[in-house]
Each structure stands twice: as structure tokens, then as C-alpha cells.
């Protein structure tokens, strides 16, 4: 049995240093260069590796001790191959190189005045949101390894050890709190952190102010980013709604009596329900994990509502089974309640398809983003009177409604995209189609 002592090498530091972590235990079989302890001075933290391989038979230092160059750290029963190389071992021991600090710990005065570690993470709106540790992270190799294995970003972990050192219990506590928050649905915004761009200091360019993003805004941003990972294509078309507008205007008195505002939206909802039934490949969701296409046999359609608090997307159920007045009434009621923040969560769930109408505002076309797990969304822009030529080369002024259909190209092919908008065009230009 050949027992070797492992010493604290020349650390380049004259005085004693704190042993802040012991990374091994008696009985461990260790490798050469494996970290045994971590030393810390006011200026640096350094991991001290073993100069030999073998079984650890004793530890002479423990966490909290002070140590200096030449002190014995441990005794190791060296392995046979190491023992036969005893001469080299001796040499290595006497020629142990100066250990360079692995990182600068804190500025000169930091030990007396530790830096403020808590900076609120602006992308997560919750009182118990993890705090970003903007100072240098202090953690030993075992803790770093543990954090790595659990995909924990140590800069988010609150340190409870001496001199703001992160302990393994801190990482465990952090993991627990994140699981708890995820289970409570409190983690919002974390999903798009990878899309974040490093921001310059805008103040250098002029005056700025910042306000906290609302939950609705964060959730929308997160959903949009997730949806942008879908391969999507937008199909543009125009529908002649001249006759539809005439019909709609004729209904104004009836609408007033019913207390309902009849806009093109109700007709769009009805036309989309018709198209979803005619082309059911648009009324699906992809379950890629199980390699299933989930066909829906109901027709619930969502529509985007612009409110001062952000975008809300209420859902009208069974649009295919409802008449225009009922749809218009529901649309009006849901939009009003969205603006009053009175929508129930259930009223924003279960959609098969979405309509986003910017018609009352303007624009000629746009590319809406599929609201996953739906596979298509219809964007509607402002109707405009345009000259439309017939087969004889004569033109007539027609009210043309721009349609922008975005679809998930994994679920729907391009020809069907064109079929969908073309069908919508036919239905909207001649409402009698809806009766068929």
C-alpha cells in the first residue's frame, strides 16, 4: 500500500485562504487532476486538483478551515500504475505549478460590501419571479455540476452561503420553486427568453422610459414566438363583397331593432365555418408526439379583439349551426366583454380556426400568424372599391375584400390553401352558396 499526501500547491497567495468547499469524500476513488477542494481569498476562487490518482483515505481539511501553500489536503492510496511511477509522482509533487485563479471573485472592497445580487427579471411578471444574479456567480465544482445536470442557470439562483456563495441546497430550492411555479401556471414569458436580443443602453441615444409588460402582452408574445416555429405560408386573395354589402346595409333597420351591429364579421365567420366543413383538412391539429392528425368534428371559431390591455381571442362555438344574427350578437357581446376584461377563460378556449380582422382600420393585406395548435388563420383587411373586368373586357366598380390565409404547411398543402380562399370568395360574393 502506497499512501501519498496531496498538498496545497503554490497558489501565488502568501497568506491563508478559506476552504469553501470540499468536493470529495473519504473512500472516493479519485482521478489525477480531479478537484479536491475549493479555496477562496478576497480576490479569487480556485479549485485545487489532486496530483495523484487513487483512493482517498483521509481528508485533512474541511469546509470553513483556512489553508496555505504546503498544507496537507488529503492522503491518497495511490493506484498500482501511479505507484510504479513514484519517481515521476515525487517530481510532480515538488514541481506542482502555480495555480492560477479560475476567476476573479469580487472587486477589492467587495468582501466588505457584497454587491447587490437581486435584480428583477423584467421578462417575468410575478412577485416571486426568479432574480437575476448579475454579479459573478460563486459556486464550487460540485454545485456547478449539480446545476449543469439539472439545466439550472446559476445566475438565477439566490445564494445563501458565505460571501454570496451558491450551495447545493440553493439549487435544490430553486428547482423546487420553479416546479411549483410551473405547476401553478405562474411562469409566463420564460418561453421566449431564447429569442431575446442583447439590448444596448438606449439612454445613450436619447430619453427613454420603461413600463412592465402586462401578463396578456407576455402571453401573446410567448404564443407568437412559439407559433413562429411553425412552417407557415400565407395565401392572398380577394372576395367581391358588393352584393354582401348591399344586403348588409338593407338589414340596418332590422339590426337596430335587434340591438345588434351587423358588420362583415358575422358573414366571415359563417363563410369560414362553411369552408372548414368543405375542407376539413383545415379543421385539424397535429399531434406530432403520437404521429396523429386530430380531426375536429365541431366548428368553433375564434376572432381577435384589439383592446387597450392587449389582444384577446374569444371563441364562438358551433358557428356552422348558428344563424347570422346569433353569430353577430355573440361577436358583439364577446368583443365588448373582452374590452371590459370580462371574458371567462373558457370563452377563449377550444377554437379550430381564427379570424383576425383589421378591416375597420386599414391596410391592403398582412400575414397573420397561425395560432397553434390550430392550423390556419384568416386575416381580413379593408374592403375597397376596385375596377373589376368581366370576360368582355368591361369593367365595373366592385367592393373587394382582401383575404390573407396563413396555414401550417405541415398540415395543409398549397393547393388546399388556394382552394380555401377561393371557396371563401365564392361564398362571400354570393351568400346563396351558404344555403347549399
Residues known to be catalytic: 409
Q: Which of 9, 140, 264, 417 binds ligand CAO (CB under 6 A)?
A: 264
Residue nearest to ligand CAO (CB): 359
Nearer Cβ to ligand CAO (9/264): 264
CB of 360 to ligand CAO, least distance (A): 3
CB of 307 to ligand CAO, least distance (A): 7
Q: Which of 267, 274, 303, 420 binds ligand CAO (CB under 6 A)?
A: 303
Query: Does residue 356 interact with ligand CAO by CB under 6 A?
Result: yes
Query: Does residue 380 interact with ligand CAO by CB under 6 A?
Result: yes
76 with 57: CB under 8 angstroms? yes
> For the packed helices 141-149 and 168-183, what is the interaxial angle rounded to 10 degrees?
20
According to CB under 6 A, which residues from 395 to 424 bind ligand CAO?
401
Q: Which of 263, 365, 422, 426 binds ligand CAO (CB under 6 A)?
A: 263
Q: What CA–CA distance (Å, rounded) separates 346 from 341?
A: 14
CB of 338 to ligand CAO, least distance (A): 7
Query: Does residue 39 interact with ligand CAO by CB under 6 A?
Result: no
Residue-wise DSSP of 42-57: SSEEEEEE-SS-EEEE
The angle subtended at Cα 288 by Cα 286 and Cα 291, nearest 5°, is 95
225 with 384: CB under 8 angstroms? no
SS3 305: strand
> Rounded to a whole number, what is the largest CA-CA distance in the chain?
106
Of 100-108, 198-206, 377-385, 417-425, the window that binds ligand CAO (rule: CB under 6 A) is: 377-385
> How many residues make contact with ligand CAO (CB under 6 A)?
19
Query: Does residue 383 interact with ligand CAO by CB under 6 A?
Result: yes
Q: Which of 73, 152, 305, 412 binds ligand CAO (CB under 6 A)?
A: 305
CA distances from 6 to 33, 57, 97 (A): 11, 11, 14
Residue 65 dihedral angles phi and psi, to the nearest 5°: -70, 170
- 209-227 residues labelled b (16+ CB within 10 A) or e (exposed): eeeebeeebbbbbbbeeeb
Q: What CA–CA distance (Å, rounded) separates 427 from 429?
A: 6
Would you state the cell numbers that stand for residue 182, as one nine-digit string? 410551473
Q: What CA–CA distance (Å, rounded) separates 57 from 268?
A: 80
Q: Which of 187, 255, 265, 375 binds ligand CAO (CB under 6 A)?
A: 265
Query: Does residue 425 interact with ligand CAO by CB under 6 A?
Result: no
Q: Which of 123, 283, 357, 406 binds ligand CAO (CB under 6 A)?
A: 357
Of 81-89, 205-213, 260-268, 413-421, the window that binds ligand CAO (rule: CB under 6 A) is: 260-268
Q: In the complex, which residues of this chain contact ligand CAO (CB under 6 A)?
A: 263-265, 303-306, 311, 335, 356-360, 368, 380, 382-383, 401
Amino acid at each position: 500500500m502506497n499512501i501519498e499526501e496531496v498538498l496545497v500547491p503554490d497558489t501565488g497567495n502568501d497568506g491563508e485562504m478559506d476552504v469553501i468547499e470540499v468536493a470529495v469524500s473519504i473512500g472516493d476513488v479519485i482521478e489525477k487532476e480531479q478537484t479536491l477542494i475549493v479555496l477562496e481569498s478576497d480576490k479569487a476562487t480556485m479549485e485545487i486538483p489532486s496530483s495523484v490518482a487513487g483512493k482517498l483515505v483521509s481528508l485533512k481539511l474541511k469546509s470553513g478551515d483556512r489553508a496555505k501553500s504546503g498544507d496537507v489536503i488529503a492522503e491518497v492510496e495511490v493506484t498500482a500504475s501511479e505507484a510504479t511511477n513514484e519517481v515521476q509522482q515525487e517530481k510532480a509533487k515538488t514541481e506542482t505549478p502555480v495555480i492560477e485563479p479560475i476567476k476573479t471573485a469580487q472587486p477589492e472592497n467587495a468582501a466588505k460590501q457584497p454587491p447587490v445580487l437581486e435584480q428583477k427579471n423584467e421578462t417575468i411578471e410575478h412577485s416571486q419571479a426568479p432574480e437575476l444574479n448579475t454579479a459573478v456567480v460563486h459556486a464550487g465544482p460540485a454545485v456547478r455540476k449539480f446545476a449543469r445536470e439539472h439545466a439550472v442557470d446559476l445566475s438565477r439562483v439566490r445564494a445563501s452561503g458565505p460571501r454570496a456563495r451558491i450551495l447545493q441546497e440553493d439549487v435544490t430550492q430553486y428547482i423546487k420553486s420553479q416546479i411549483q411555479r410551473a405547476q401553478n401556471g405562474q411562469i409566463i414569458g420564460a418561453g421566449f427568453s431564447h429569442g431575446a436580443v442583447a439590448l444596448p443602453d438606449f439612454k445613450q441615444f436619447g430619453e427613454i422610459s420603461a413600463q412592465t409588460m402586462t401578463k396578456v402582452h407576455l402571453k401573446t408574445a410567448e404564443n407568437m414566438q412559439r407559433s413562429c416555429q411553425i412552417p407557415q405560408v400565407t395565401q392572398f386573395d380577394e372576395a367581391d363583397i358588393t352584393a354582401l354589402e348591399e344586403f348588409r346595409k338593407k338589414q340596418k333597420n332590422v339590426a337596430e331593432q335587434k340591438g345588434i351591429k351587423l358588420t362583415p364579421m358575422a358573414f366571415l365567420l359563417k363563410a369560414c365555418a362553411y369552408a372548414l366543413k368543405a375542407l376539413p383538412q383545415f379543421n385539424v391539429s397535429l399531434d406530432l408526439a403520437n404521429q396523429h392528425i386530430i380531426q375536429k368534428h365541431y366548428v368553433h371559431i375564434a376572432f381577435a379583439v384589439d383592446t387597450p390591455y392587449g389582444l384577446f381571442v374569444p371563441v364562438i362555438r358551433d358557428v356552422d349551426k348558428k344563424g347570422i344574427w346569433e353569430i353577430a350578437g355573440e361577436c358583439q357581446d364577446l368583443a365588448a366583454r373582452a374590452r371590459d376584461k370580462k371574458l371567462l377563460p373558457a370563452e377563449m378556449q377550444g377554437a379550430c380556426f381564427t379570424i383576425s380582422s383589421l378591416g375597420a382600420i386599414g391596410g391592403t393585406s398582412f400575414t397573420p400568424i397561425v395560432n397553434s395548435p390550430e392550423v390556419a388563420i384568416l386575416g381580413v383587411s379593408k374592403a375597397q372599391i376596385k375596377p373589376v373586368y368581366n370576360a368582355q373586357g368591361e369593367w365595373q366598380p366592385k367592393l373587394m375584400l382582401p383575404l390573407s390565409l396563413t396555414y401550417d404547411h405541415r398540415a395543409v398543402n398549397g393547393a388546399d390553401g388556394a382552394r380555401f380562399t377561393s371557396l371563401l370568395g365564392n361564398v362571400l360574393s354570393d351568400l346563396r352558396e351558404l344555403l347549399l
